[in-house]
């Protein structure tokens, strides 16, 4: 558990975790992340594929038993994936708090 | 109208190869098939497609390879062809920018894979060269010397490739020191 609190997720992984609150397939994730980030983050398929596989290994997301011959395989976040995202959120809040105090417009 | 072009790109020249394919596309020649050092182009609209190539970890026909290609196709890309574990894909330019790797980590992983391949080939060829030299020491005729020279040339290319890709790996690692 403490291991989870001390890691820094990549932007791609964090946004994928957010995107998979509801089931979504690969291309859907790409579009969702581009939308959330207003076009700033464009996940490339190779990058997305690698991230998905790592997250599957870590048990943060699971592949849903789709239709047979499911080319449009869907994924969804798992409880431990939600925890990882929430831990990251806490970390980001700390950064924003400190950043605003020192360089913020006050 | 189809056109077949014979061109040699060494393993570590994959970026140059990709650049060339996109230059051809800009001229109106869209790649539609690949073979060993042969590229088949079909005349079409200039700049219609963006081309990318990648070395897979598994053969395109394997389960994992097929899964990855299917995934790429789901994101709007088309499979053009393959050569061993190298795949060639394209996506319509009108669908937007097309890249296979968007962050440094996945780029580094990929370049390191190519570097490891070059290094592996370089090291494996050392005993082959020594063995060959040992066997032809007695002969030393034209054919033996010529083929030995070719072997050494290939080895030098592997070495150059390993160094070239190692520089790229170091550059990416340096970038990663301050950003993702």
Q: What is the ipTM of this complex?
A: 0.79
B95 CB near a chain A CB, below 8 Å? no
Which pLDDT value is given to residue B134? 86
B57 CB near a chain A CB, below 8 Å? no
Minimal C-alpha gap between A11 and chain B (Å): 8
The answer to whether the Cβ–Cβ distance between B103 and A10 falls below 8 Å is yes
Instruction: Tell which of A25, A45, A51 to mutate to test the B interface (max B CBs under 10 Å).
Output: A45
B170 CB near a chain A CB, below 8 Å? no
Which pLDDT value is given to residue B48? 96
Which pLDDT value is given to residue B137? 79
User: Which of B40, B26, B38, B55 has its CA nearest to residue B161?
Assistant: B55
- Residues with Cβ within 8 Å of A29's Cβ and at least 6 positions away in sequence, in order, are A16, A19, A20, A43, A48, A75
What percent of chain A shows pLDDT beyond 90? 78
- φ/ψ of residue A94, rounded to 5: -65, -45
In sequence order, what are the beta bridge partners of A45? Answer: none
Q: CA-to-CA distance for A46 and A26, rounded, in angstroms?
A: 11
Render pLDDT for B43-100 as a digit per residue (tens, 0 to 9).
Answer: 999 999 999 999 999 899 998 899 899 989 988 899 999 999 999 999 999 988 899 9
pLDDT score of B123 more than 80:
yes
In sequence order, what are the beta bridge partners of B33? Answer: B40
Which pLDDT value is given to residue B139? 76
To the nearest whole number, what is the mean pLDDT of chain A? 90
Q: Exposed, middle or buried: residue B88 (CB in 10 Å: 0-12, 13-18, 19+)?
A: buried
In sequence order, what are the beta bridge partners of B91? Answer: B50
Chain A residues with CB within 8 Å of chain B CB: 10-12, 25-27, 30, 42-51, 71-73
The residue to which tokens 């969702």 are assigned: A32
Q: What is the mean pLDDT of residues B20-26?
A: 97
Render pLDDT for A40-88 as a digit per residue (tens, 0 to 9).
Answer: 999 999 999 999 999 999 999 999 976 655 567 899 999 999 999 999 9
Which pLDDT value is given to residue A31? 92
Q: What is the mean pLDDT of residues B118-132?
A: 94
Q: CA-to-CA distance for B53 and B62, rounded, in angstroms?
A: 18
User: Which residue did the predictor score with more confidence, B146 or A97?
Assistant: A97
What percent of chain A shows pLDDT beyond 70? 89
Around Cβ B67, how many Cβ atoms within 10 Å? 15
pLDDT score of A3 more than 70:
no
Which pLDDT value is given to residue A4? 52
Residues of B in contact with A71 (CB under 8 A): 70, 73-74
Instruction: Tell which of A32, A44, A50 to mutate to test the B interface (max B CBs under 10 Å).
Output: A44
Bridging pattern class, strands B78-83 and B49-55: unpaired
SS3 of B3, please? strand
How far, in whole angstroms, is CA B66 from its chain's centroid?
19
Smallest Cβ–Cβ distance between A44 and the set B76, B100, B109 belongs to: B100
Q: CA-to-CA distance for B157 and A73, rounded, in angstroms?
A: 42
CB B111 within 8 A of CB B172: yes
Which pLDDT value is given to residue A59? 97
pLDDT score of B8 more than 60:
yes
How far, in whole angstroms, is CA B48 from its chain's centroid?
22
SS3 of B88, please? strand
SS3 of A71, please? coil
Which pLDDT value is given to residue B64? 87
To the nearest whole number, what is the mean pLDDT of chain B? 93
Which pLDDT value is given to residue B143? 83
SS3 of B49, please? strand
pLDDT band, residue B164 (cuts 50/70/90):
very high
pLDDT score of A38 more than 90:
yes
Which pLDDT value is given to residue A72? 72
């Amino acid at each position: 558990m403490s291991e989870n609190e001390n890691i820094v997720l990549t932007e791609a992984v964090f946004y994928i975790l957010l995107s998979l609150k509801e089931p979504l397939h690969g291309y859907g994730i790409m579009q969702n992340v581009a939308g959330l980030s207003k076009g700033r983050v464009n996940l490339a398929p190779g990058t997305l594929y690698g991230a998905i596989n790592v997250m599957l290994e870590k048990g943060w997301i699971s592949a849903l038993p789709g239709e047979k011959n499911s080319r449009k395989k869907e994924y969804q976040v798992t409880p431990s994936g939600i925890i990882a995202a929430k831990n990251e959120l806490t970390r980001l809040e700390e950064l924003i708090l400190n950043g605003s105090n020192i360089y913020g417009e006050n | 109208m189809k056109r077949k072009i014979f061109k040699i790109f060494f393993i570590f020249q994959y970026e140059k190869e990709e650049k060339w394919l996109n230059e051809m596309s800009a001229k109106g020649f869209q790649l539609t098939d690949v073979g060993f050092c042969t590229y088949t182009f079909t005349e079409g609209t200039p700049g219609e497609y963006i081309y990318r190539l990648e070395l897979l970890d598994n053969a395109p026909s394997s389960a994992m390879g097929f899964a990855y290609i299917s995934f790429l196709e789901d994101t709007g890309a088309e499979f053009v062809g393959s050569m061993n574990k190298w795949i060639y894909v394209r996506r319509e330019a009108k669908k937007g920018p097309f890249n296979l790797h968007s962050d440094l980590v996945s780029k580094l992983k990929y370049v390191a894979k190519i570097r490891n391949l070059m290094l592996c080939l370089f090291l494996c060829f050392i005993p082959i060269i020594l063995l060959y030299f040992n066997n032809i020491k007695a002969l030393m005729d034209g054919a033996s010397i010529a083929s030995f020279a070719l072997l050494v040339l290939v080895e030098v290319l592997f070495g150059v490739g390993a160094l070239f890709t190692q520089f790229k790996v170091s550059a990416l690692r340096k970038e990663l020191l301050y950003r993702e």
